Amino acid sequence: MTEIRTAAVIGLGLIGGSLARDLAARGVRVLGWDRDARTLRAAVDAGIVDELRAGELPDLAVVAVPVLAVPDVLRRFLPALAAARLVTDAGSTKRTGIAAAEALGIGGRFVGSHPLAGDHRSGWDASRSGLFAGAHVYLSPTSTSSDEARGIVRWLWEAVGARTEWMDAGAHDRLLAWTSHLPQAVSSALAIALARAEVPREALGPGGRDVTRLAGSSPEMWAHVAADNADHLAAALRMAESELRELRLRVEEGDPGRLREWFALARGGGAA
């Protein structure tokens, strides 16, 4: 690995901010940017980043912004990426960033990243060192990602303690619709239903709090993910709707045996 001395982190929220902290702690000079001037100021004042200014040419760049903004941000910062041997993003969907990188002619230096890290909190104030320790990171290459870019992106995430897995962007977006986006949707739908019924959150037991915790996540980020992964997410939502309806029909029917079968399916997580 040729040495990485400077890294740009564009977007200093939970993911970008935490990555900046860990890279800075490893002695990498981090050049930061955020559309919110107060966030950028906070990151500079904390001694974590220097402001990414025109003329700086970082060795790698991470775009950690809501996924629908990735194409615009790549376009806008293209001059600053001239010397970068790796450009990556950190979005929860992978097809859009890859298509944008290829359209901008930087497909060879681009690899998509998706760290499964963080929680329902968001923003620079929620960022912290060690966020990626033990986390799983999906890596999705473009059709032309160079060996060097592939090597650097692995180094990047392993340097902050994560483990990486390569997955084609299409397969990633389909899988994550189920493993991440659908759980988020279900948790959020429950939270809204409780609010409409005027049920105070404090009345929830420990189980109910587990199920609604995700609903506190960033609306901005999830709006982007849901719009960007609409095809796969709509299919997953239909399946969840169908299972809730099936349960309701069995509840209205009132036969404990049929209800037991349904709850047993849920416990087993298998066999129709």
What part of residues 65-104 is at the interface with a copy of itself (CB under 8 A)? 68
What's the min distance (Å) between Cβ of 68 and a copy of itself? 6
d(CA 216, CA 245): 25
What's the min distance (Å) between Cβ of 69 and a copy of itself? 10
- By the rule CB under 8 A, 264 interacts with a copy of itself: yes
Tell me which residues in 220-259 interact with a copy of itself (CB under 8 A): 220, 222-224, 226-227, 230, 233-234, 236-245, 247-248, 250-252, 254-257, 259
C-alpha to C-alpha distances, 22 to 9, 128, 137, 141, nearest whole angstrom: 12, 8, 16, 24
d(CA 138, CA 115): 6
* Tokens matching residue 45: 């004042």
Tell me which residues in 158-187 interact with a copy of itself (CB under 8 A): 175, 178-180, 182-187
For a copy of itself, which is the closer residue by CB, 5 or 166?
Answer: 166
Q: Which of 102, 136, 148, 159 forms a contact with a copy of itself (CB under 8 A)? A: 136
CA-angle at 8, arms to 228 and 226, nearest 5°: 10
**Exposure letters 81-98 (e unless 16+ CB within 10 A, then b):** beebbbbbbbbbbbbbbb
Part in contact with a copy of itself (CB under 8 A); list of ranges 6-14, 30-38, 124-132, 207-215: 207-215
